[in-house]
Amino acid sequence: MPRHLLNPMDFSVEELYKLMDLAGDIERNPDKYAHACDRKILATCFYEPSTRTRLSFEAAMYRLGGHVLGFSSANSSSAAKGESVSDTLRMISCYADICAMRHPKEGAAFVGAQKASIPLINAGDGGHQHPTQTLTDLLTIHSLHGAFEGLTVGLCGDLKFGRTVHSLINALTRYEGVKFVLISPPELKVPSYITEMLEQKGYEYKEVISLDEAIPELDILYMTRVQKERFFNEEDYVRMKDFYILDKEKMSHAKPDMLVLHPLPRVNEISVEVDDDPRAAYFQQAQYGMYIRMALILTLLGIEVE
Ligand code: CP
């Protein structure tokens, strides 16, 4: 059976540290890995738009010496003719060695994995999970801040539909003493299954509306955009979209070493004036995304480089 990555919890804590170590080694010694995936093929099956995830997967495979095929929208695949995800994954398994798939429906990757005979990576399933973004976020925090234990992490914006938020909270509940400050308008609160999980596991959390009040205590501020594509009506989106805008003034109340992360794309929620602040780590975060995906491809394909 191939090993898949469908949920950020699919790797143990030890395996995650190994993956992050490998990503670090790849970043420091790119030549060592330049032919690690010679003759291997990655399929990117994206039923939803993407810039970072798809292109960083493709860049990752090219930098490992492999090849890439795939589609970047449902309309340019036979999904437009009604082909199921299961059948598509069965076919892709004949053409490629590993597949990254993004789909607008929650659970699509889990369905696809039943029929995939190659490793399948969930590159985002609806408002549910985005495990490789979580790997990216963990590597960024680990590289720029050190340990996860004892961090106070603020997650701000659309906590209802933001799949990266759901995955990251899940993943951080494996480290002791992490505290969560969930900053959102009441309409975009994190789903109750997340807060129930935090309570069950005994993690401290609070739900607040004001970013100004929350910012001074944070070690990490994870900003998110309001997920326009998951709203049922435009009016609600317009009302919510500029609820939070992180600017220089707000940053002046933050800790001197607080990291600002964002899975990107950004819309208005971080003013461009923050980009030059040394605490703004979101573009560096996107680059870490490529290294961790290189490490992930090697790990799922069982390729070791001496
Ligand atoms: N962070 C992220 O998933 O970005 P894309 O939607 O551009 O892939």
CA dihedral 158, 213, 251, 260 (to 10 degrees): -40
Q: What phi and psi values does residue 78 have, to the nearest 5 degrees? A: -75, 0
| 134 CB near ligand 1 (under 6 Å) | no
The verdict on the CB of residue 50 being under 6 Å from ligand 1 is yes
Closest atom of ligand 1 to CA, residue 264: 1
- Count of C-beta atoms within a 10 Å radius of residue 84: 13
**Strand ranges, E, within the chain:** 41-46, 67-71, 98-103, 120-125, 152-156, 179-183, 205-208, 220-223, 259-261
Question: What mean pLDDT is predicted for residues 158-163?
Answer: 90
Mean pLDDT of the chain, nearest integer: 96
How far is 207 from 189, CA to CA, in rounded Å? 8
Looking at residue 148, its pLDDT comes to: 97
Closest atom of ligand 1 to 130 CA is 3
- What's this model's pTM, rounded to 2 decimal places? 0.95
The amino acid present at 73, given as its one-letter code, is S
pLDDT score, position 232: 72
Determine contact, residues 248/276, Cβ cutoff 8 Å. Answer: no
Distance from Cα 276 to the centre of ligand 1, integer Å: 22
Using a 6 Å cutoff on CB, does residue 227 contact ligand 1? no
Q: Is the CB of 263 under 6 A from ligand 1?
A: yes
For 1-36, the pLDDT digits (tens) are 899 999 989 999 999 999 999 999 999 999 999 999
Tell me the chain's radius of gyration from C-alpha atoms: 19
Q: How many CB atoms lie within 10 A of CB 198?
A: 19
- CA 113 – ligand 1 centroid, Å: 21
- Percent of the chain at pLDDT > 70 equals 100
What pLDDT, on a 0 to 100 scale, did the predictor assign at position 230? Answer: 74
Indicate whether residue 283 lines ligand 1 (CB < 6 A). Answer: no
Task: Locate the ligand 1 atom nearest the alpha carbon of residue 263 and give its number.
Answer: 1
- Percent of the chain surpassing pLDDT 90: 91
Tens of pLDDT, residues 73-105: 999 999 999 999 999 999 999 999 999 999 999
Residue 134 sits at the vertex; the CA angle it makes with 64 and 231, to the nearest 5 degrees, is 120
CA distance 141 to 165: 14
Residue nearest to atom 3 of ligand 1 (CA): 53
Q: Helix count (H) and strand count (E) of the chain?
A: 11, 9
pLDDT of residue 216: 98
**Beta carbon of 229 within 6 Å of any ligand 1 atom:** no
pLDDT at res. 240: 80
Enumerate the active-site residues: 52-53, 81, 102, 130
pLDDT value for 283: 98
pLDDT of amino acid 241 = 86
Q: Which structure tokens are listed for 159?
A: 């906590």
* CB-ligand 1 contact for 51 (6 Å cutoff): yes
pLDDT of residue 68: 98
* Rounded distance from Cα 59 to ligand 1 centre (Å): 14
Q: Which residue puts its alpha carbon closest to atom 1 of ligand 1?
A: 263
pLDDT recorded at residue 265: 94
Q: Ligand 1 center to residue 250 CA distance, Å?
A: 25
Ligand 1 centroid to Cα of residue 292, in Å, is: 15
CA of 160 to the centre of ligand 1 (A): 17
Which pLDDT tens digit goes with each residue over 192-250?
Answer: 999 999 999 999 999 999 999 999 999 999 999 988 777 778 887 788 888 899 999 99
